[in-house]
Amino acid sequence: MQEQRESGLYDVDLAVIGSGPGGYEAALKAARIGMKVALVEKAAPGGVCVNWGCIPTKALLRSADLFDELPKAAVYGVHVENASFDLAQAVKRSRNVVLKLSKGIEFMLGKAGVEYRQGEARLSDSHEITVVRQGAPDSVFSARHIIIATGGRFRELPGLKPDGRHIITSREALALKEVPRSMLVLGGGAIGVEMAWFYAKAGSKVTIVEMMPRILPLEESEISEALGRSFEKAGIEIITGAKLEEVVCSDGSVHGVILREGEELRQALADLLLVAVGVAGNAEGLGLEEAGVEISRGFILTDDQCRTAVPHIYAVGDVRGGMLLAHKASAEAAIAVAAISGNPLAALDETKIPRCVYAEPAVASVGLTEAQAEAAGYRVITGRSMFAASGKANAYGHLEGMVKLVFNAADHRLLGAHILGRSAVELVGEIALARHLEATVEDMAHTVHAHPTLSETIREAAEHALGQ
């Protein structure tokens, strides 16, 4: 093998470890420009995103959204009687969606000529990969370049190890057989918020416990506070600035104590506890450190081209850290493959990456919040527009929501944009493009939008920033 490497010959040009959005995108892009590519995946094609994350979550949320609309149907002249929520059927549909997409990814990889190897990958050295199946080495091959795309896993807290029955992660929450009577959700980030909304609409009594002062603490405060009010109207209890401690499981329930500064201890009791407190990178057990790859706090360290301390090894997606988003992983895959091919792309700017939360009302944003912009030294101007003033929102009966735009007062360029409301996640493309192109408030205010559409609220928010 050493002689093979010295002669410059390798079994493949690129080995990709992991088949999530970062992994399969990297493999496809490399294969399409003529590289010989092998991809190693220990589970189903598509990684966590397709199989236990983005896709099944959104499929379930669609079921809850339809069910939530039924009580309002009579207002529209549509009469529905005796509606009920069938969790088993909703889960079955979500798994069918997952299976279709996973098989689709496997088909695309095969069509592109990517060699697909099932098993766990371990680096024997910086160029050699051993594929392990059922605990034993199955095959060994060498690669000129390697991309690590092993994703992340749910972070565990001391004393709150998931048992799959009473203490669960969102993975188990995606496949429950029955709707629990009550659920505690620890963590008010995107995953916690989406799961809380789904199970509340399915019939659970849901309580969110969040350590920070508000749910979605990294989003624009006006947006997350408005979402909190909407959740409370929907019967979801939100306890912020709080910790959950002394958790025990007994008598088929979860018992705990909620600690909130300045208040008396509060007893917590629920059928289930969903722990949604963040993600850790899947960087261990791969032989990376022995190969010279640097890891810090569970994430692989890279430069802005996704290159690790070992020049021919790259990392993309959640295992690299930063914003833990599927579309960020895909963008990093493009950067890594371009760097390997000798045609580097510009580094990724996280202020130009959209963020979405798929509850109802939904949240979508890109760039800086007003507070973040001011903390960075900008003098800002802001504009707002309410969905309640939109003809389309009124026609469809979804009045809840708003658009907030944040501009640099010095040159009028967009610094951040934030949307709350139905279809927010579909509107985010426009504001992401505006942020990418560094559009000005005038650009956005003078863009003609179709009427009646929700996208008009973006133009109206820009007009508001101009005082029009």
Taking residues 228-244, what's their average pLDDT?
97
**Which tokens go with 452?**
């009646």
**Which tokens go with 269?**
């009791």
Indicate the CATH number for domain 2-154+280-348: 3.50.50.60
Average pLDDT across the chain, whole number: 96
Smallest CA-to-CA distance from 265 within 248, 242, 288 is with 242
Q: Residue 416 and residue 403: Cα distance in Å, rounded?
A: 11
Contact 353, 328 (CB under 8 A): yes
Backbone angles phi, psi at 185, to 5 degrees: -115, 115
Predicted pLDDT at 5: 53
Task: Report cis status (omega within 30 of 0) of the bond before 361.
Answer: yes
CATH 3.30.390.30 in the chain, residue ranges:
351-465
- Read off the amino acid at residue 147: I
Residue 250 predicted with pLDDT over 70: yes
Long-range contacts of 97-103 (CB under 8 A, 24+ apart): 97/55, 97/56, 97/59, 98/46, 98/50, 98/51, 98/55, 98/56, 98/59, 101/46, 101/50, 101/55, 102/44, 102/45, 102/46, 102/50, 102/51, 103/45
**Which tokens go with 60?**
């379930």
Residue 3 predicted with pLDDT over 50: no
Residue-wise pLDDT for 115-161, tens only, equals 999 999 999 999 999 999 998 999 999 999 999 999 999 888 888 99
Residue 6 predicted with pLDDT over 80: no
CATH architecture of residue range(s) 167-277: 3-Layer(bba) Sandwich (3.50)
Residue-wise pLDDT for 305-355, tens only, equals 999 999 999 999 999 999 999 999 999 999 999 999 999 999 999 999 999
Predicted pLDDT at 158: 86
CATH 3.50.50.60 in the chain, residue ranges:
2-154+280-348, 167-277
Largest CA distance in the chain: 77
Counting beta carbons within 10 angstroms of the beta carbon of residue 440, is it exposed (0 to 12), middle (13 to 18) or buried (19 or more)? Answer: middle
Q: Point out the residues that are catalytic.
A: 451
Q: What is the pTM of this model?
A: 0.94
Q: Residue 321 and residue 371: Cα distance in Å, rounded?
A: 23
Residue 4 predicted with pLDDT over 80: no
Quickly state the pLDDT bin for 278 (edges 50, 70, 90): confident
351-465 falls under which CATH superfamily?
A: FAD/NAD-linked reductase, C-terminal dimerisation domain (3.30.390.30)
Q: Residue 460 and residue 448: Cα distance in Å, rounded?
A: 11
Judged by DSSP in three states, 349 sits in coil
**Which tokens go with 435?**
């942020």
Smallest CA-to-CA distance from 120 within 17, 230, 2 is with 17
Quickly state the pLDDT bin for 10 (edges 50, 70, 90): very high
DSSP secondary structure letter of residue 245: E
Residue-wise pLDDT for 23-69, tens only, equals 999 999 999 999 999 999 999 999 999 999 999 999 999 999 999 99
Predicted pLDDT at 2: 43
**Which tokens go with 102?**
């996973």
Q: Residue 113 and residue 34: Cα distance in Å, rounded?
A: 10
Lowest mean pLDDT among 159-168, 264-273, 352-361, 454-463: 159-168
Contact 417, 366 (CB under 8 A): yes
- Read off the amino acid at residue 423: S
Predicted pLDDT at 103: 97
Residue-wise pLDDT for 360-408, tens only, equals 999 999 999 999 999 999 999 999 999 999 999 999 999 999 999 999 9
